[in-house]
């Protein structure tokens, strides 16, 4: 099984700050990595697919990068509406999906 | 605009079978994979499994022995059955569409449409 880790588990930042979240896979997953945003009480929302592609309609302040085992998710300028938990998700060649443990983002 | 709606009992007794249905509206169930994901209270997301519209399935190995996902294309619905439930199965259950793109060499997948989720509590 491929294990996913995320860091930090939570962070607090000011409006306008650059926020970076990392996701690490236990083995090479190429760029089979997606990022989701989940606001409290809501369903997850797809933000980034195959590591770096922005889903249609998602603000350009969100971005992703990486390949292999190490991935980065960035919010270039944190906005109040970005308060949420962010999850990475990988899938392997058997199309088994795994979510990372999540990173909770708050406003300082 | 495709929309998904989960439905089913909100309370299930221990040792019984949890049954949920996801209804797809605004589009066809054909040509996609359809997935179930759950989230225990205060915890992260856990992928349960998926079904292709043609009926092929794939399950999380940790749940495989208890999970069955089926599809009814005539009703534009797919369903989840989880047997022998315990309190640990208490969660919000989401259904989602898996879309993808690519070529013969590489194909990419992502969950682009989600239902709002339904809370299932396992308790006597």
Which H/E stretch holds residue B101? strand B91-102
Task: Show residues of chain B in contact with A1, CB under 8 Å.
Answer: 61
Q: How far is A83 from chain B (nearest CA, A)?
A: 16
Quote the tokens at residue B33.
């994979």
Distance CA A107, CA B7 (A): 35
CA end-to-end distance (rounded Å), chain A: 37
Lowest mean pLDDT: which of A31-40, A68-77, B97-106, B107-116? Answer: B97-106
Residue A66 structure tokens: 């990486």
Separation between Cα atoms, residue B67 and residue B47, nearest integer Å = 12
If pLDDT is split at 50, 70 and 90, which confidence band does B107 have? confident
Report yes or no: B52 at the A interface, CB cutoff 8 Å.
no
Q: How far is A78 from chain B (nearest CA, A)?
A: 23
Task: Provide the pLDDT for residue A93.
Answer: 87
Nearest CB neighbour to B112, from listed A46, A101, A102: A46
| pLDDT reading at B102 higher than 90 | no
Confidence of residue B103 (pLDDT cuts 50, 70, 90): confident
The per-residue pLDDT for B123 is: 97
Q: What token pair was written down for A78? A: 């944190």
Interface test mutation site (partner B, options A54, A97, A100, A101, max chain B beta carbons within 10 A): A97
């Amino acid at each position: 099984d491929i294990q996913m880790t995320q860091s930090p588990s939570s962070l607090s930042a000011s409006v306008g700050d650059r926020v970076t979240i990392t996701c690490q896979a236990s083995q090479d997953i190429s760029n089979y990595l997606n990022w989701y945003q989940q606001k409290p009480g809501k369903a997850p929302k797809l933000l980034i697919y195959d590591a770096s592609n922005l889903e249609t309609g998602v603000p350009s302040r969100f971005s992703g990068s990486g390949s292999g085992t190490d991935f980065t998710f960035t919010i270039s300028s944190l906005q109040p509406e970005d308060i949420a938990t962010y999850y990475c998700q990988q899938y392997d060649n058997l199309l088994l999906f795994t979510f990372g443990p999540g990173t909770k983002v708050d406003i300082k | 605009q495709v929309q998904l709606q989960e439905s089913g009992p909100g309370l299930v007794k221990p040792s019984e079978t949890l049954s949920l249905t996801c209804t797809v509206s605004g589009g066809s169930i054909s040509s996609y994979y359809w997935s179930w994901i759950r989230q225990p209270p205060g915890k992260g997301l856990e992928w349960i499994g998926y079904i292709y519209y043609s009926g092929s399935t794939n399950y999380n190995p940790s749940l495989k022995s208890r999970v069955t996902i089926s599809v009814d294309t005539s009703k534009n619905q797919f369903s989840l059955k989880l047997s022998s439930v315990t309190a640990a199965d208490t969660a919000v259950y989401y259904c989602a569409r898996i879309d993808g793109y690519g070529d013969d060499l590489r194909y990419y997948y992502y969950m682009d449409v989600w239902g709002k989720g339904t809370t299932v509590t396992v308790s006597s």
